[in-house]
């Protein structure tokens, strides 16, 4: 379905939200525009053009906006992490 008054692509609004299962080597099924953790905790992830992973502490419900390709199991203790694409 096309919604003509909304931009599409990376700058447009999200069209898909999915639960992420962190994994140490596998990439996400598709890069996402943002991630959100339902509960407070650390999330280790890789941003598209970064050479290294980063670990950030999330508050419950916090959203981090970037093109994220991986969410690692090691270093992640936040639960219910969602990808926003």
- Give pLDDT, residue 5: 73
Count of C-beta atoms within a 10 Å radius of residue 23: 14
C-beta separation of 16 from 43 below 8 A: no
CA dist., res. 57 & res. 34, Å (int) = 15
Q: What are phi and psi of 16, to 5 degrees?
A: -155, 135
Q: How much is the pTM? A: 0.88
DSSP 29-58: SS-EEEEEESS-EEEEEEETT-SS-EEEEE
Question: Residue 4 — pLDDT band, cuts 50, 70, 90?
Answer: low
- Give pLDDT, residue 46: 98
Write out pLDDT tens, residues 16-71.
Answer: 999 999 999 999 998 999 999 999 999 999 999 999 999 999 999 999 999 999 99
């Amino acid at each position: 379905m096309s919604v003509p008054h909304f931009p599409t692509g990376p700058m447009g609004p999200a069209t898909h939200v999915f639960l992420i299962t962190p994994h140490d080597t596998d990439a996400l099924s598709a890069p996402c525009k943002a991630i959100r953790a339902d509960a407070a905790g650390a999330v280790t992830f890789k941003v598209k053009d970064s050479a290294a992973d980063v670990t950030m502490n999330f508050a419950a419900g916090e959203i981090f906006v970037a093109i994220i390709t991986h969410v690692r199991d090691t270093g992640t203790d936040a639960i219910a992490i969602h990808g926003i694409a």
